[in-house]
Amino acid sequence: MAAPEVHHLFHNPIADHSFSADRKTLAIARDTTVELYRKVGDTFKLVDELKGHDKTVTSVDIAPTSGRIVSCSQDRNALVWEPSPQGYKPTLVLLRINRAATFVRWSPSETKFAVGSGDRLIAVCYFEEENDWWVSKHLKKPIRSTITTVAWHPNSVLLAAGSTDAHARVFSSFIKGVDARPDPSVWGERLPFNTVCGEYLNNSAGWIHAVAFSPSGDALAYAAHDSSITVVYPSGPDQPPKAVISINTQLLPFMSLIWNGEAEIIAAGYDCEAFRFKGGINGWQLSGTLEAKGRPGLSDGREDSALNMFRQMDLRGKVKDDTQLKTVHQNTITMLRPYESSGDSVRKFSSSGIDGRLVIWNT
């Protein structure tokens, strides 16, 4: 396995990151701005700062085809940044929420995006031609707490959301005039706006940190604060799911997860490294870490001279320098994104975290 590509961008947390389709442009949510980096040779160079929010930017997403960037922030706003020859032009979105916006993602069709918020609702936003404005419709029931994460189904109608009320839910976000009628699927046939197609709760019920549909859209995975991931295989509308598989791990909670084909999930979080899960409808299990242990270049295996040892003892009062984690990331990983895919499987994925690093991994 080739070594991961590590980019230490700055010494601040990265709330979210997103690559453009050509993977040359990288958007990073840092404090109250969205920073745009351009790949120059092997490194990323800061080329632009999108300033428009006045509180912490919580999430950012680049639409692959149109190149539009959407960002949302604790200032309760979302902005759509339209690329133009003079740079990016922001447009305010009418979210109508009175709590922080926490998470934003473009739908695969790029005609809509969903904004999760602390106002116990999801704003599904679309462009209204006659008013020349991004407007929103609210998914409200039965959400009882802050939405922490959302994920789109490949059909751009179904939307999965995780919340601090410990439920992962699947909603229909069908908007007349914007969406084509979706094909019937395991999640349901008739899907008017705000249909709840599924509602899932773990046994020990921790906050949901991440949700994701499998590439086919027929299974849903979510990660919760009880250090578990759960995979749900629905069987049809108004029927109990075919299988709900929950894996409680010995690890710390996961913050983000992605599917790699239908039989593999990659999850990462407070353990600062990514883990691989393998399985299917008959069961899932943790199959190991993606971190190559004992990689050369880590100071771990280095022999210390006696002089060095005594110097360390004198300087720091201890022999071993234990301020460095053995993982590539030096703090919690908060976001995983597919970077390079072939068909349904992910060949490379990127991770970002509180340590200000962006890492591109080979699966």
Partner 1 sequence: MSIIQQHSAASLSDAWRTINIDALQEDSSINFDTSTLHPPLPETSESEVRQINAQVRQLLRGGDTEGALRGCLEMPVYNGSDAAKEAHLQTVIEVLQSIKASEMTPMLQRIYGTPGGSECLDVLMKYLYKGMANTASSGGSAPRTPTRVTPQQTGFSQVGGRPGGSSESTGAAMSVLLSWHEKVVEVGGLGSIGRVMTDWRKV
Interface residues with partner 1 (CB under 8 A) are 120, 144-145, 165-167, 201, 203-207, 224-228, 248-253
User: Do 146 and 163 meet the contact criterion of CB atoms below 8 Å apart?
Assistant: yes
Residue type, 112: K
Nearer to partner 1, 250 or 342 (CB): 250
- In this complex, which beta carbon is closest to partner 1, that of residue 206 or of residue 236? 206
What residue has token string 């883990």? 275
Tell me the closest approach of the beta carbon of residue 271 to partner 1, in angstroms: 9
Q: Concatenated DSSP letters for 80-148?
A: EEEEETTEEEEEEE----SS-EEEEEE-TTSSEEEEEETTS-EEEEEEETTTTEEEEEEE-TT--S-EE
Q: How far is the CB of 297 from partner 1 (least distance, A)?
A: 27
Distance from C-alpha of 223 to C-alpha of 204, rounded to nearest angstrom: 12
- Which C-beta is closer to partner 1: that of 78 or that of 208? 208
Closest distance between partner 1 and the C-beta of residue 238, in Å?
Answer: 18
CA separation for the pair 328, 290 (Å, rounded): 10
CA atoms 184, 190, 192, 198: torsion sign: negative
CB of 165 to partner 1, least distance (A): 6
- C-beta closer to partner 1: residue 60 or 121: 121
Closer residue to partner 1 in complex, CB, 80/147: 147
Q: Which long-range contacts (CB under 8 A, 24 or more apart) does 137-140 make?
A: 137/173, 137/175, 137/193, 138/96, 139/171, 139/173, 139/193, 139/194, 140/194
Residue 12 or 287 with smaller CB distance to partner 1: 287
Please, what is the minimum distance in Å from the beta carbon of residue 116 to partner 1? 16
Q: What are phi and psi of 119, to 5 degrees?
A: -90, 20
Which H or E run contains 315? helix 306-316
Q: How far apart are CA 269 and CA 208, in angstroms?
A: 12
Query: Which CB atom, from 203 or from 308, has the smaller least distance to partner 1?
Result: 203
In contact, 216 and 262? CB cutoff 8 Å = yes
Residue 159 Cβ, how far from partner 1 at the closest point, in Å?
20
Q: How far is the CB of 217 from partner 1 (least distance, A)?
A: 27
For 287-299, letters b (16+ CB in 10 Å) and e give eeebbeeeeeeee
Distance CA 62, CA 82 (A): 10
Neighbours of 141 (CB within 10 A): 11
| Residue 46 vs 252, nearer CB to partner 1 | 252
Min. distance of Cβ 269 from partner 1 in angstroms? 11
Q: Which is nearer to partner 1, 34 or 170 (CB)?
A: 170
Distance CA 203, CA 197 (A): 20
> CB 301 → partner 1: shortest distance, Å?
25
Q: How far apart are CA 363 and CA 359, in angstroms?
A: 12
